[in-house]
Amino acid sequence: MPAPPLWKVSIALEKAAAPDMASLLELASAPQAVLIVEEPFGPGAVVEALYTDEPDAAFLSRLAGRPVIAEPLPDQDWIKLSQEGLPPVRAGRFFVYGAHDAGAVPASVIALRIEAGLAFGTGHHETTALCLAVLSDLSRRQRFAKVLDLGCGTGLLAIGAVKLWKHKVIASDIDPVAIEVTRENARLNGVGGMISAFAADGLTHKGLAGPFDLIIANILAGPLTRLARGIVAKLEPGGVLVLSGLLRNQEKMLLSFYQGLRLASIRRDGPWSALVLERPYGLSRDLAANVRTLPLRTPLRRIALLR
């Protein structure tokens, strides 16, 4: 049987409101991809979101505060098509590009080639750029030998960590497709033998035994609260934790789940944040085990383009 078509939701609005609407859809409705189509010489724009199942148009209309159009699309790789024309991204020391921009890589950057595809993480979402900038900052003052990229998507952050510190990196994701894409991207970037990637829901996989001196978790606030105890347990004393995929107004809530760690810095871009935490040498195992947890009745869900 042929694969079911994707569904596209379209919301017409003003250009200035488009970025916030795109972020709202990403956060609240789990699309596969989101893009903004602007009128070249006019004030309007259209936010388009792609879904694998028929979306609830009535719910999305209430969420957006305006009418939305939901329609099925033919069976094509619309996620790839929506990302192929994306421009390169400069974040910290990194330059993220696709094959169509191979001739535009400037000198004196750490180049990361990431092709559009079925896994999330081309570097264009603010949270990914924030994490790349954080890694650049950390590289100026510290070296890491045991790194975990939790929720790796395309493997972009894991590849960046390898290129910064020249050590092997562990990468994990709940999505097996993301693991295959991570391995392929590692090969394309010349670090195929430096990244061990595992499909895992959480931190129970034996390949994630740790402890780690750097953990990067660019997922969502909900999973970050659920995984707080496990993440802290995997972080060695003196280790650094980078949390992202969260909104500014979620910072205090999220920090309440990581009590005992020291907040070293916060990076922000628009409504999005990345938190840099450090585990004090004096944090006992007992205290780490008592880090607050939030029981969830539903499994983890990935939201597209948060990496």
The verdict on residue 51 lying in a domain is: yes
Q: Are residues 251 and 133 located together in one domain of the fold? A: yes
SS3 153: coil
The verdict on residue 102 lying in a domain is: no
Q: Which stretches of the chain score pLDDT less than 50?
A: 1-3, 78, 81, 118-123, 286, 289, 293-307
Q: Are residues 57 and 126 located together in one domain of the fold? A: no
The verdict on residue 198 lying in a domain is: yes
Query: Which residue, of 63, 83, 103, is where some domain finishes?
Result: 83
Residue 45: domain span: 7-83
Query: What is the reported pLDDT for 28?
Result: 80
Q: Are residues 133 and 74 located together in one domain of the fold? A: no
Return the residue matching tokens 């950390």: 138
Q: What is the CATH number of the domain that holds 244?
A: 3.40.50.150
Query: What is the reported pLDDT for 247?
Result: 86
Query: What is the reported pLDDT for 120?
Result: 47
Query: What is the reported pLDDT for 100?
Result: 64
Q: Are residues 251 and 139 located together in one domain of the fold? A: yes
Query: What is the reported pLDDT for 136?
Result: 95
Q: Are residues 187 and 284 located together in one domain of the fold? A: yes
Query: What is the reported pLDDT for 119?
Result: 40
Q: What is the CATH number of the domain that holds 62?
A: 3.30.70.260
Q: Are residues 284 and 139 located together in one domain of the fold? A: yes
Q: Are residues 19 and 127 located together in one domain of the fold? A: no
Tell whether pTM > 0.75: no
Residue 196 CB: number of other CB atoms within 10 A? Answer: 16
- Please, what is the end-to-end C-alpha distance for the chain in angstroms? 32
The verdict on residue 98 lying in a domain is: no
Residue 59 CB: number of other CB atoms within 10 A? Answer: 12
Q: Are residues 248 and 163 located together in one domain of the fold? A: yes
SS3 83: helix
Cα separation, 106 vs 101, whole angstroms: 11
> Any residues with CB less than 8 A from the CB of 251 and at least 6 apart, and which?
266, 273, 275
The verdict on residue 129 lying in a domain is: yes
Q: Are residues 127 and 26 located together in one domain of the fold? A: no
Q: Are residues 284 and 152 located together in one domain of the fold? A: yes
SS3 33: strand
Query: What is the reported pLDDT for 307?
Result: 36
Tokens matching residue 250: 């979620």
Identify the CA nearest to 242 among candidates 164, 297, 177. 164
- Quote the number of domains for the chain: 2
The verdict on residue 213 lying in a domain is: yes
The verdict on residue 64 lying in a domain is: yes
The verdict on residue 274 lying in a domain is: yes
Q: Are residues 161 and 244 located together in one domain of the fold? A: yes
Query: What is the reported pLDDT for 175?
Result: 87
Cross-strand bridge partners of residue 91: 94
